[in-house]
Amino acid sequence: MSAGRHPFKATPRDTRAHKLIEWYLGEYGTDSQHEHTVKIRAHDNANEARLSVRRGASHYGVSAAAWVCRDGEQCAGDCPDPDAVHDLTFSLHSKGEARRHVARQAGGNSGNLKYNPFAKRG
C-alpha cells in the first residue's frame, strides 16, 4: 500500500454551488422549509447541479434536500426527455432537523430506513 493521500482527497473541492447556498442561507436560513427551484437545461446538468448543492451544503455544515424534476414529477435515471429543461429543487436544513426528519419518516423504526446504519454488515 502506498503512502500519501487517498485519491478522493486529491479531488478538487466542489465550490460551484457555494454562491447559491450562501444566497439561500442569507435569504431563508436553515429549517425554513422553503423549497427553492432553479431551471436548468438537460437532465445531466440538473443532476450534476443537485450533487454540487449536496456537496456544497456539507461545506457549510448544513444538510441539503435536493432533487431533479421535469414537469412537476421527480425525474431520475430513465428520463424520457434528457435534453429538456429540468428543475433543480432544494432546501437546506440544520443537521439536527435533518436527523429529526429522517426519524419521523422512519416512524422510530430503523428497519424503515433506506440505509440502516444499525444493521449488521457481512
Please give the pLDDT value at position 7: 79
**Alpha-carbon span 87 to 47, nearest angstrom:** 10
Cβ–Cβ under 8 Å, residues 60 and 78: no
pLDDT tens, residue by residue, 1-51: 556 778 777 788 899 999 999 999 999 999 998 999 999 999 999 999 999
- Can you count the helices (H) and strands (E) in the chain? 3, 4
Please give the pLDDT value at position 65: 93
- Three-class secondary structure of residue 94 per DSSP: strand
Tell me the Cα Rg of the chain.
17
In the predicted model, is pLDDT for residue 111 greater than 90? no
Cβ–Cβ under 8 Å, residues 53 and 88: yes
pTM above 0.75, yes or no: yes
Please give the pLDDT value at position 94: 95
Please give the pLDDT value at position 3: 64
Would you list the domain boundaries of the chain? 17-109
Give the model's confidence band at 104: pLDDT under 50 very low, under 70 low, under 90 confident, else very high.
Answer: confident
pLDDT tens, residue by residue, 51-83: 999 999 999 999 999 999 998 889 877 888 999
- Lookup: cell for 61: 455544515
